[in-house]
């Protein structure tokens, strides 16, 4: 069994990459992630020198909870506060010492020629294996980040400009803040991109503190963590079905199960940020151990064997609606008659008879809500 993968011609010892964010704040932290086992590390996005690029600054975070359970995080963190010169002179080389692939996140600037200058300076360090072009940060009010990334023409201009100078493979980190990612992914591919990163944070609002009436965070931020996985997986599946480029997938990877899911949806590498921010670099070996155990148990010798296996089963809701229906069936030996299923059946299919639930086939629409919420797992859907 081996965990190796090949992304855009670059070999990774395993599929797990530390995503561009706070845990990759400088070379030393990137080295720590590499030493913890990450096969690739991405620094905070390197960009222009601007008046707010100072340290400290208001890179605030807020947990989003459902009840007491954190389901995601909103951040107001902009790009690196370290100068471009410092990354080039020392930090990228320090990151490289960890032995992982160094994937330089560079900001697409409004003038694509400036983006190319940055790429050229970064590759001259000799400390970088791949570029990750950031056209997806959700925070900036205008001109950079997703404001470039949601426009296929602007994305193409950026990619063409960087490709003119690039001696390294170029990945493009796309924004999930679009109705359809496919035209943007195609524009990036046609302009010469070697890989796609799907995707960045979801532009979001952190909530209202009801004791003060104030917003939890005063500006629109980026939503990350477990709650965004379904959004990212939608984009990933749509792009993977239509665009023949290697994909690095990111969004809510908290453990090995999500790594497997993303690979089954076509990803070659996966990246994780919130899991490390919530669990420290120890999250990295934990995820890799789980992945190895899964492969061992299922006799998966290489991740190539499972890559994209879920894609062929994806259809449209219109086609799915024509499939033979299924109906709720209650196992009376398990049912306790608690009535949860009756309260949640909006088709009035469920009744309680003699302290046991009964689902009428002529009323059941097969939605499965009763089975999902049955506290004793007494309900299954059957043809």
Binding site for ligand FMN (CB under 6 A): 19-22, 44-45, 73, 75, 77, 79, 105, 134, 137, 173, 200-201, 222, 224-225, 228, 250-253, 272-275
Question: Closest separation between CB of residue 159 and ligand FMN, Å?
Answer: 16
> In this structure, are strands 16-18 and 40-41 parallel, antiparallel, or unpaired?
parallel
Q: Are 200 and 220 in contact (CB under 8 A)?
A: no
Q: Are 148 and 112 in contact (CB under 8 A)?
A: no
Q: Between 76 and 370, name the residue whose CB sits nearer to ligand FMN.
A: 76
Q: Are 33 and 52 in contact (CB under 8 A)?
A: no
Question: Closest separation between CB of residue 274 and ligand FMN, Å?
Answer: 3
Residue 285: how many CA atoms within 13 Å on its side-chain side? Answer: 7
Report the candidate in 19, 9, 98, 37 with the shortest Cα–Cα distance to residue 292. 37
Q: Between 123 and 200, name the residue whose CB sits nearer to ligand FMN.
A: 200
Q: Between 22 and 121, name the residue whose CB sits nearer to ligand FMN.
A: 22
Question: Closest separation between CB of residue 227 and ligand FMN, Å?
Answer: 9
Beta-carbon count within 10 A of 218 CB: 11
Q: Which residues are catalytic?
A: 137
Question: Closest separation between CB of residue 355 and ligand FMN, Å?
Answer: 44
Find out whether the peptide bond into 199 is cis, omega within 30 degrees of 0.
yes
> What is the rounded distance in angstroms from the CA atom of residue 242 to the CA atom of residue 184?
12
Q: Between 195 and 374, name the residue whose CB sits nearer to ligand FMN.
A: 195
> What is the rounded distance in angstroms from the CA atom of residue 333 to the CA atom of residue 306?
38
């Amino acid at each position: 069994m081996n965990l190796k993968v090949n992304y855009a011609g670059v070999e990774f010892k395993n599929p797990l990459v530390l995503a561009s964010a706070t845990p990759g704040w400088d070379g030393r932290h990137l080295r720590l992630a590499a030493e913890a086992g990450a096969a690739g590390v991405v620094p905070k996005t390197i960009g222009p020198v601007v008046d707010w690029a100072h340290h400290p600054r208001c890179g605030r975070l807020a947990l989003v909870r459902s009840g007491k359970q954190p389901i995601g995080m909103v951040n107001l963190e902009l790009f690196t506060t370290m100068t471009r010169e410092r990354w080039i002179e020392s930090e990228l080389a320090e990151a490289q010492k960890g032995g992982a692939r160094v994937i330089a996140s560079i900001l697409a600037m409004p003038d694509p020629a400036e983006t190319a200058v940055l790429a050229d300076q970064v590759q001259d360090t000799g400390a970088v294996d791949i570029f990750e072009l950031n056209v997806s940060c959700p925070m900036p009010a205008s001109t950079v980040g997703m404001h470039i990334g949601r426009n296929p023409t602007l994305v193409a201009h950026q990619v063409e400009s960087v490709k003119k100078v690039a001696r390294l493979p170029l990945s493009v980190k796309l924004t999930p803040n679009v109705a359809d990612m496919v035209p943007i992914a195609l524009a990036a591919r046609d302009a010469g991109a070697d890989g796609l990163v799907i995707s960045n944070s979801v532009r979001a609002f952190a909530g209202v503190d009801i004791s003060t009436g104030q917003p939890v965070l005063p500006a629109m931020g980026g939503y990350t963590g477990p709650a965004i996985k379904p959004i990212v997986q939608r984009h990933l599946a749509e792009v993977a079905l239509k665009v023949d480029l290697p994909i690095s997938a990111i969004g809510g990877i908290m453990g090995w199960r999500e790594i497997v899911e993303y690979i089954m949806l076509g990803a070659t590498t996966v990246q994780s940020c919130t899991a490390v921010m919530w669990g420290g670099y120890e999250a990295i070996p934990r995820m890799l151990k789980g992945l190895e155990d899964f492969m061992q148990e299922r006799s998966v010798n290489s991740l190539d064997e499972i890559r994209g296996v879920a894609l062929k089963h994806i259809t449209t809701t219109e086609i799915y609606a024509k499939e033979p229906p299924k109906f709720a069936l209650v196992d009376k030996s398990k049912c306790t008659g608690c009535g949860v299923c009756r309260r949640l059946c909006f088709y009035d299919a469920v009744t309680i008879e003699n302290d046991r639930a009964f689902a009428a086939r002529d009323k059941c629409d097969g939605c499965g809500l009763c089975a999902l919420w049955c506290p004793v797992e007494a309900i299954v859907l059957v043809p």
